[in-house]
Structure 1
Amino acid sequence: MSDEIQDLTLKIYDAVADPGRWGAALDQLVDRVGAQGSIIFEWEDSEGDRRLTAPIHSGYYSSDAISVYLSKCQDMEARDQAIIRQHTHDDDEIALLDDTLLASSVDELKQQEHVQKLMRLGIFHRAAGVMNKDNRWLSLFSVQLNAARNPLDAKERHFLSQVLPHVAKALDLSIPIRQLQSRYQRVLSAIDELAIGVCVLDSRAMIVARNEEFRRQQETYRLFRVGQGGQLRIADRSGQSQLDRLMSDWREHGRFGGRPRKESILSHTDTPLCIEITPLQKSDEIGNGLFGGFVLCSTDTSLPVMCDKTRIRQAFGLTSAEASLVDAIGEGLTNPEIADRRNRSVSTVNAQTKSILAKSNCANRTQFVRMMMRFGASFLTPR
């Protein structure tokens, strides 16, 4: 089974750099667990309102058919997802929850209008899980089962438990690339349009491509260097050790389930860079053969972040004072600068920052800013 999981996992990570590969990866997942189809739901914010979308799905469905379903059943689907979020625990582990939570009995479940629509399509049982524990509205993975079969069994659940952490990480890291895809079809050729640093590495860590933001970070912070052999290295022993580990084995990825940002490489040199890396096995933009490299993303968390701070306050139960501090952090201000602006002591601001980090389950300020960016931030450079 290990080879099977490795093959599927690497296909999932290939979808980070090429979002068009999601469908084939989900098709393989669906076939392995005997499901009818799979849909990844997302909620889009529009003028203060949330709208349910399904941008990623297996080949069993057409985008048009899903759009019709959501136009007719959005409220009922939203109710189901609210129940899933309510029963999702706050730890990092991804839990796939059955539709038995959605009604008191199977008979009652079958009486629901949207379930009856699905049954007419040959679908009955469903299972779903929150993919991002920081922002539970961000993405929800779901599988739909043929009406003739029972819910997922223990072996199928075990298989999914090994794959879904990688799905969660790939979904999280693909957000900037998917935004870029809205502008350009060939995304690796357009990475200069991204506001985060991106560097494509081969299997030896040799630089294949990098964008302007990554070059700026190299010049500004000197955290990245090119070794004598031409490999990209991190000028920090701990950071380089983490990078070596993540490049050595695909199983080192996805270790933090629904909080992929915990896997970030955080330097001990006091630089504000948040570094993440994902395998890249194949890419049509690089060539038809096996590439076997990596995509490294680096976020400068000292830069201003435009995101939905109201959603952040709601997600973590922040006080008004803490929420105003989030606003200042989003502007890229340091704690001493915030203290000076608010006429407070640095120790008071430090204490409030520690409270925010505790509530948001973040190790430090750099990781918190990285987390903020999953609440509606744009990753594209202004036109």
Structure 2
Amino acid sequence: MGMQRDTGFLIRRIYDAVDDVDALPDVLAGLCERIGGESGILGTLMKAPGPLPFAVLFHLDPALMPTLNARHLNNVWRQHMVTLPVGIPAASDSFVSFDQVRRTDFYGEILEPWDIGHAALFVVDDMPKFHVAMSIHRSRTRGPFTSTELEASQKLLPHLRRAMQLRLLLERSHEQEKLALQALDQLAAGVVLVDSQARVLFANMAAQEIAAAGDVLVLTDGTVKPRLREQGGIFRGLVASAIAGKPGGWLLLSRPSPQLPVSALVTPLAGRLAACFAAQGRLGAAAVLLSDLEGQASSSTEHLRSLYKLSPTEARVAWLITRSTSVGRVARALGIAPETVRTHLKHIYAKTGVNRQSALAYLVGAAAVARVPSALSPVRGIQSFKDME
């Protein structure tokens, strides 16, 4: 019964390693104990030349890893190990003796400092671009691993293989999630992803800048709510509706006069991001899309200047003409003569390559979608609102 409990504990720790890399040293320790090893390493061996992209050590000094990566990845043990069938362990002495190994630089620079004389070698999995490999070691005085000792690992190896496959899938999912969030971070519109309690899962840079102003949204304990208390219930209702799979809806978030309100569209979160959050145990999520007309005017004019080399006044004329449709109104808004506006328009058309107002409106609309990178931006990277507290 004791051995069975030990096996059960190790299997649980193996699956803990799917999302917790800190469990892997425990797994290596348990395998060492099971087969009579003293140290171990588990990692990925690329089939193309290159360093170990992932390695977990047990009772080994990590200071030697740069030397291993630089000089000894193609060592005599590895050359034989990568030919092994998946899940079938082999003793290093079965294909190269300790006396042969001792005469190599690999032994002098790596194995001897680590007090390793013998190894049990495993290919845990064989992927298209890499092997998941493991070696468990002991000193020269302990002698080679026996077939009986190697067989003691057999109950655990299928579980370790499955756990490493699941870990790879999870890492791919996290990478896809990261790429999706990075794309949201480039939008000029604010995007906030919230759970059923209005807790912020993610906020892009535009949303963080709106929140930082403090005149529309309030951040409290990692949750987001409108500044005006009377709008809070409506906002929570829209979030609950979206998470329940219903359409959600619109809400104009008031701000101090004379500034324009911020338009908030609350909608269900679907697709890959929804799946990613569901995998993290989030029971539903909604997206809040924030349209700040005051801020977008400034952002869009900066974007137009960057894209088409417009002057500040030309960019402002381009923005206004697509909203007022009247040269006279633009002239009054800027305090300049109508003929001056027409001159600016000629320059704008020449620089943008369009020759009519409808085409210019399309360019201005496209410029309002993405952010303009700025060294003055106070917020960097993908963050949640919790990082702003």
Q: Which of the five TM-score ranges fits, normalised by the shorter chain?
A: 0.3 to 0.5
Whose Rg is larger?
2
TM-score normalised according to structure 2 size: 0.42
User: 1 or 2 for the larger relative contact order (CA 8 Å, sep ≥6)?
Assistant: 1
